[in-house]
Amino acid sequence: MTAQLTFYSTSACHLCELAEQMLALFEQQGVCSIDKVDIANSDVLLERYGIRIPVVRNSQGEELGWPFSPEQVLQLMA
């Protein structure tokens, strides 16, 4: 069973691009499925994550804000 992750980011965010590359490797290996959410489309998400993105969230509601390592993402998926 693959982990379900939500990736909060926005366009023109260099750190988001770095995080997305890392997460894409996990998705390509089949260890997770990623739902990418652009926070610019929601005032609520902008307020919550605006200065914290990129943020990864698991299905239990646990979150990692940048910077995070591949090892931390694996722990989040466990």
Domain range enclosing 32: 3-77
Q: What is the count of structural domains for the chain?
A: 1
The separation between the first and the last C-alpha atoms of the chain, rounded to the nearest angstrom, is 11
Burial of 27 (0-12, 13-18, 19+ CB in 10 A): middle
Helical (H) or strand (E) element with 22? helix 14-28
Looking at residue 2, what is its pLDDT?
87
Instruction: Give the CATH number of the domain where residue 44 resides.
Output: 3.40.30.10
Taking residues 16-29, what's their average pLDDT?
Answer: 96
Looking at residue 1, what is its pLDDT?
67
The pTM is what?
A: 0.93
Q: What are the tens digits of pLDDT across the range 23-61?
A: 999 999 999 999 999 999 999 999 999 999 999 999 999
pLDDT of 8 higher than 90:
yes
Beta strands 55-58 and 63-65 are antiparallel
